[in-house]
């Protein structure tokens, strides 16, 4: 499967993989903070944060790791799993990416609705 046209230049490839690495480093820490360090007053909101973190992790796994082009860094080819996948998996990867993206949007919309409800109609 040739998907090098998605991200064609070296700067975009470096940016894509750099942000994916940063997300893989920070996302487990965010999940740890949600479970261990959030106060009891955030009992409802922590589930929204957890959902957003998990969908973000799925999006990063899908787009930046599995469906990433072959990276050429100064003559060294780094082949990621997408170079070995058959073309029939592309619709599945698209569906997973869209599902996680839309789930994250709905969670953000739900957290906004929750925040407006708390501010406008306090208990």
Could you read off the pLDDT tens digit of each residue along the chain, which spans 123 residues? 455 555 556 677 677 777 888 888 888 899 999 999 888 888 888 888 898 899 888 888 877 767 666 566 666 666 665 666 677 777 887 788 888 889 988 988 888 888 888 889 887
- Note the pLDDT of residue 8: 58
- At how many degrees (to 10) do helices 45-60 and 10-32 cross? 150
DSSP conformation letters of 24-66: HHHHHHHHHIIIIIS-GGGTTHHHHHHHHHHHHHHHHIIIIII
DSSP 8-state class, residue 123: -
**What residues contact residue 83 under an 8 Å CB cut-off, 6+ apart?**
1, 69, 70
What the block records as the tokens of 96 is 């997973």
The helix-helix angle for 90-120 and 45-60 (nearest 10°) equals 160
State the pTM of this model: 0.66
Q: How many residues does the chain have?
A: 123
């Amino acid at each position: 499967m040739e998907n090098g046209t998605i991200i064609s230049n070296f700067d975009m490839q470096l940016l894509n993989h750099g942000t994916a690495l940063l997300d893989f480093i920070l996302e487990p820490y965010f999940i740890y903070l949600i479970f261990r360090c959030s106060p009891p007053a955030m009992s409802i909101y922590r589930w929204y944060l957890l959902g957003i973190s998990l969908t973000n992790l799925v999006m990063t796994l899908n787009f930046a790791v599995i469906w990433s082009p072959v990276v050429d860094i100064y003559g060294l080819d780094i082949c990621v799993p997408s170079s070995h996948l058959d073309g029939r998996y592309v619709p599945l990867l698209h569906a997973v990416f869209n599902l996680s993206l839309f789930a994250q949007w709905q969670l953000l919309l739900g957290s906004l609705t929750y925040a407006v409800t708390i501010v406008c109609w306090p208990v």
